[in-house]
A and B are shown apart, each in its own frame.
Chain A
Amino acid sequence: MIEFRGVNKWFGPLHVLKDITLSVEPREVVVVCGPSGSGKSTLIRCINGLEATQDGDLVVDDKRVGDPATNMTLLRTEIGFVFQQFNLYPHKTALENVTLAPTHVRKTPRAEAEKAGRELLAKVGLADKFNAYPSELSGGQQQRVAIARCLGMRPKIMLFDEPTSALDPEMISEVLDVMIAVAEEGMTMMVVTHEMGFARRVAQRVVFMDQGAIVESGTPEEFFSAPRTDRSRAFLSKILRH
């Protein structure tokens, strides 16, 4: 579904992705973790072309990202992206946030899109917030609307860029619960997160990155109980200390 083959990326002189080779199968859930600045956000932002790669092949849903022949706008409709800062449209209600892309991109009739939008918002536990503006919602609620907004496009892939990092601790689990439900329905997911409970519960694979390279990759079981490298051991000791 997603395949990186020797992908490199630079920000000016900074080599942010180093020879990335990684393959994600349909229905697989992959958690990407690593210290800050390790390139994990950049990695998933390349998948829907929010960042350009400079070298190597990146194939998503059988289409080459960055190839002029690939219609990126079309490819992006198949890829949901959840941002750390939610990025809901502040001038639109929760329901309008969910129905915007389906009505304008997929050309779904408005009534049908609104029905689907209400169902999705109910599914993420916001049945009473259809007409609320983002500024009237808590961080956890906003992130759940953002997930519903992605699901509204019925994507084949969902990418999450530190979806719980901007949340107060008491709101993290409500967002993780929604993500677990999405994963259990068989969505192909790549999730940049340090929520190791989530990784243990739904991920088939954990990828550990450091300084722009994939250092280690394995099942959550292997990664947490027997990390193979010094860097992953040092990282785990820091995030699992408390």
Chain B
Amino acid sequence: MIWEQLQDLIRSYPLALRGLGMTVMLSLISLVLGTLLGFGLGVLRATGNRFISAAIGTWVDLIRGTPFLVQIFLIFFILPELGVELDAFTAGIIGLTNLAACFICEIVVAGIRAVPKGQIEAALASGLSLWQRMRQVVLPQAMRVVLPPLVGQYVLLIKDSSVVSAIGLTDLTRVGWLAVQRVPNGLLVFAIVGVGYFLVCYPLILLARRLERRMSAAHGEVKL
């Protein structure tokens, strides 16, 4: 019985691969964009004026304090009411990028604040501009604090991407829902879906662990 169901599921591997591909694609694009945006927001929040810092802080709190499902519904169903037409993929990318950026912003801010004040004073005293201080002195040292939680956050965000199945994107989770309609064994189907996510996330978990071990050996800057 289970064997037959498994064979049936294996035959539908093109669909499963499509779902896995969608999950990987969504995660990859939104993590890259979210990381860039998150670093930008983090630097602004840590160094910008009080108004900018407070505005970013409020947005980050708002996004961190509401369920991602609600955010994705708002983007997908409310924005078109305001005249912004979005396909499900774009809505998913926007939602995930925003979510990633907000969490990464907080990680980056914590990293920047962990750099000793004397470092910034030394850079200031030698006439480095704000951007040069960030790029040459602060961020390389902040990365020490930032990298392990950053990679950990990637894992959480990849798993959060399953929520986009709710707006009809055929990601790994949605493939699971589709398969269950044909093969009525939810346990088996979602065990396989779980394995799919695990295969994507596990290398990142290993990377995070490796980075954490490297911290103590580094001279303040961490190279991958």
**Which residues of A does B touch, CB under 8 Å?**
48, 50, 73-74, 76-77, 79-81, 83, 85, 87-91, 100-101, 104-105, 133-135, 149-150, 153
Contact = CB atoms under 8 A, between A and B. Distances in A.
Contacts of B132: 104-105
Interface residues of B, number: 21
Interface string B143-180: 00000000000000000000000000000000000000
A76 B118 contact: no
A101 B136 CA distance: 10
B126 A101 contact: yes
For the residues of B in contact with A, the DSSP-based class is: helix
B11 to A, nearest CB: 54
20 contacts: A50-B121, A50-B124, A73-B127, A79-B125, A80-B126, A81-B126, A87-B122, A89-B123, A89-B141, A89-B220, A90-B141, A90-B219, A91-B140, A91-B218, A91-B221, A100-B128, A101-B126, A105-B132, A150-B126, A153-B127
B126 A153 contact: yes
B119 interface: yes
Contacts of A73: 127-129
Contact of B118 (A87, A100, A133): A87
Given A50-B121, A83-B118, A83-B121, A105 B219 contact: no
A152 B52 CA distance: 36
A242 to B, nearest CB: 30
A104 B125 contact: no
A105 B119 contact: no
Interface of B: 116, 118-119, 121-129, 132, 136-137, 140-141, 218-221
B219 A100 contact: no
Contact of A76 (B119, B126, B219, B221): B126
A-B CB proximity, top 6 nearest: A91-B221, A77-B127, A90-B220, A91-B220, A87-B122, A81-B125
A141 to B, nearest CB: 15
B126 A77 contact: yes
A91 B141 contact: yes
Contacts of B127: 73-74, 76-77, 101, 105, 153
Given A73-B129, A87-B118, A87-B119, A133 B219 contact: yes
A105 B126 contact: yes
B222 to A, nearest CB: 9
